[in-house]
Amino acid sequence: MATIHKQHKQYSRPRKLFESGRIAEENGLVKKYGLKNKKEIWKADAAVSKIRKEAKKLITAQSDVQETFISRLVEKGFIKKGSRIDDVLDLKKENILDRRFQTIVFKKGLAKTPKEARQMIVHRHVFLKDSIVNIPSYFVNLKEENTIKLKAKPKKEKQEKPVEKPVEKENASA
């Protein structure tokens, strides 16, 4: 018998709700990445803190354990190849937001704005690995990045319209 686990929040709200510096920074990120709301920023923040905690534990670990952790982050595209644990500790929420499906569709030039990219994804116009993904917050691996493409539009056949003959005016000069 399978047990059902309760899903917990993937983020935590800021301690100070009305901090002008944080609000201004978040508004800039919402505009830059075309996010739906600030909850998506908080989720990225939580993901970064989770990765940092794991990296802090691995500072004293053996080098092969560190390399597997780093290679996993390289595959996800959060850090570059040849990075060390110090580089993992320098991660920011922007690194996480850059790997979202919505951001990559925009950066590849398939959409003019991040908001348009979000709309195209939600409306199921973008393929990832020959299947439709309609989740803008989906994290795209480096291997999957090259498989993103737009859905082909069906070509409409043009029907020939009958040419209307101009009506000649009758001269009724009497």
In this model, does residue 35 exceed pLDDT 70?
yes
With respect to residue 88, please indicate whether it lies within any of the assigned structural domains.
yes
CA-nearest of 96, 104, 92, 93 to 136 is 104
- Its domain, for residue 111, covers 100-154
Counted domains in the chain: 2
Residues 6+ apart with CB under 8 A from 65: 58
* Token pair of 133 as six digits: 């993904």
pLDDT at 161 over 90: no
Q: Is residue 126 part of a domain?
A: yes
Q: What is the average per-residue pLDDT within 125-138?
A: 93
Q: Is the pTM of this model over 0.85?
A: no
Residues 26 and 85 in one domain: yes
For residue 5, what pLDDT is reported? 83
The continuous run of DSSP H or E covering 148 comes out as: strand 148-150
Q: Does 144 have pLDDT greater than 70?
A: yes
pLDDT tens digit string along 73-121? 999 999 998 888 889 999 999 999 999 999 999 999 999 999 999 999 9
Residue 174 forms part of a structural domain: no
What is the pLDDT confidence band of residue 168, given thresholds at 50, 70 and 90?
A: low
**Contact residues for 125 (Cβ-Cβ < 8 A; gap 6+):** 150, 151
* CATH number, position 118: 3.10.290.10
